[in-house]
Amino acid sequence: MSPSDPNTVGQDLDDGMPVDHPLKEMWRMFFRNKAALFGLGLLLAIVFMALLGPLLYHIDPFEIVWAPLAPPGEEGYLLGTDYLGRDVLAGIIYGAKATLAVGASAALCTVFIGVALGAMAGFYGGWVDNVLMRITEFFQVLPPLLFAMVLVTLFSPSLVTISISIGVVSWPGVARLTRGEFLKIREREFVLAARAIGSRNFRIIWKVILPNALPPLIVTATLIIGVAILFEAGLSYLGLSDPNIMSWGFMIGSSRDYIFESWWAVTFPGVAIFLTVLAVSLVGDGLTDAFNPKLRQL
């Protein structure tokens, strides 16, 4: 029986003492990482703000509430108003949901495309691998931001279009990583055993190999969320966003011409993006260390 067989996990003995379950040890190491815990706490705070903020702060982010370019604190508006007189704090609270939604959905799209193509290339090899890797290389040499701009311009700029565009330009790295993991795992004993008992290729790919290749893919998916948020901010800054939906990138893009008159209208959304990407990166780094078996043995 292979050590990677889930039926044997946590049942080995080391000098007569039970070995901790790898998953349990992984989480133990993650929660010992102070930077990762800080990132997780910060990310949860941002998620709670996105979910509960609109219930507690009822100002419409598109409503003109006071004079334009009011500085932070004036008339009770904590973060001031933008060039139209809209509440900046309301924009940050309501924009969190759209920004996080784009990041998560774009990461999901990226992982789906990358894993599907990378899994087939790594499992079948031969001409299938050659064709899929040539397609991957074609997409990899295209400038991601420019390609995403073209896709968003061709279709109506909406959150769905932006998410799919980011996914289409970001999947090659995931595909290469998945291919490498499949090439490494497909000749392991438990895969050969699955072939011997007559398991179909589809079951071997998704039920046998993929679960064993998940750790690096989970880490990559986590980091892609931060990249997708930056992509969305860049597209919104260039005016390629849905004008009817408030997001942090939209706030920066709409106020960029007034940065010297109202620095707060650009700075605070930028800080929100920075903190979110930082939180995601810290969680991703923590997962990287936790999934590393060599570090777990230290």
Query: What phi and psi, each to the nearest 5 degrees, are found at residue 18?
Result: -65, 140
Is 7 domain-assigned?
A: no
Could you tell me if 92 and 79 are in contact, meaning their C-beta atoms sit under 8 angstroms apart? Answer: yes
Number of domains in the chain: 1
Catalogue the long-range contacts made by 192-196 (C-beta closer than 8 Å, 24 or more residues apart). 193/2
Return the SS3 of 274. helix
Is 12 domain-assigned?
A: no
The full DSSP string for 193-250 is: HHHHTT--HHHIIIIIIHHHHHHHHHHHHHHHHHHHHHHHHHHHHTT-S-TTS--HHH
Domain span at 259: 24-296
Specify the pairing of strand 17-18 against strand 13-14: antiparallel
Is 102 domain-assigned?
A: yes
For residue 220, the domain's CATH number is 1.10.3720.10
Q: What is the pLDDT along the chain (298 residues), one digit of tens a residue?
A: 444 444 444 444 344 434 455 677 777 888 888 898 999 999 999 999 999 999 999 889 999 988 888 899 888 889 999 988 999 999 999 999 988 998 899 999 999 999 999 999 999 988 999 999 999 999 988 888 888 888 888 888 888 898 999 999 999 999 999 999 999 888 888 888 888 888 888 888 888 888 888 888 888 888 888 888 888 888 888 888 888 888 898 899 888 888 888 899 999 999 999 999 999 999 988 888 787 655 555 5
Helices (H), ranges, the chain: 22-32, 34-56, 88-124, 126-141, 144-154, 159-185, 189-196, 201-203, 210-237, 248-254, 263-291, 293-296
Is 77 domain-assigned?
A: yes
Is 236 domain-assigned?
A: yes
Is 62 domain-assigned?
A: yes
